[in-house]
């Protein structure tokens, strides 16, 4: 039986790509989701340890996704992390009030972001 942590990585292909090898190196199993509908279906079908959104800009659908997924058993306290280039101010505050951990894409090296995510899974 595998003890590897399993996360759902949500975002477009270009946003997800830099993280794939880094998570693999960290021993994290990744399932990818291109859009919110597919991500939601995969989240409900899999046994996950966390959900990570990596996007170049803020998606309004993230707050709806979080509200909806939190109503399902097993997701009430699941770590959800949002990494985005334009996450700040009110958007950041709204997500944090919903229990979402946030990081700004850019000034922090990808390796540090992966360490942050892994830390939130434990």
| Share in percent of the chain as helix, strand, coil (round to 5) | 45, 25, 35
Does 31 score more than 80 pLDDT?
yes
C-alpha span between 24 and 45 (Å, rounded) = 21
Does 28 score more than 90 pLDDT?
yes
Q: What is the mean pLDDT of residues 30-45?
A: 93
Residues in the chain: 122
> What is residue 51's predicted lDDT score, i.e. its pLDDT?
97
Domains annotated on the chain, with CATH:
6-121 (3.40.50.2300)
Tokens encoding 118: 């892994």
Q: Please, where are the H alpha helices in 3-121?
A: 13-25, 36-45, 61-69, 89-97, 110-121
The region of weakest confidence among 19-23, 51-55, 58-62, 91-95 is 58-62
Q: State the pTM of this model.
A: 0.90
Order of strands across the sheet that contains 50-55: 29-33, 6-10, 50-55, 80-84, 100-104
């Amino acid at each position: 039986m595998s003890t590897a942590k399993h996360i759902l990585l949500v975002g477009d292909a270009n946003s997800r790509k830099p993280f794939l090898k880094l998570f693999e190196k960290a021993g994290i199993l990744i399932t990818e989701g291109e859009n919110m509908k597919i991500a939601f279906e995969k989240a409900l079908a899999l046994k996950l340890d966390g959900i990570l959104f990596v996007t170049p800009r803020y998606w309004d659908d993230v707050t709806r996704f979080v509200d909806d997924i939190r109503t399902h058993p097993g997701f009430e306290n699941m770590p959800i992390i949002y990494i985005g280039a334009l996450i700040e101010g009110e958007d950041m505050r709204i997500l944090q009030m919903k229990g979402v951990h946030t990081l700004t894409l850019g000034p922090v090296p990808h390796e540090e972001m992966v360490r942050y995510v892994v830390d939130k899974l434990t």
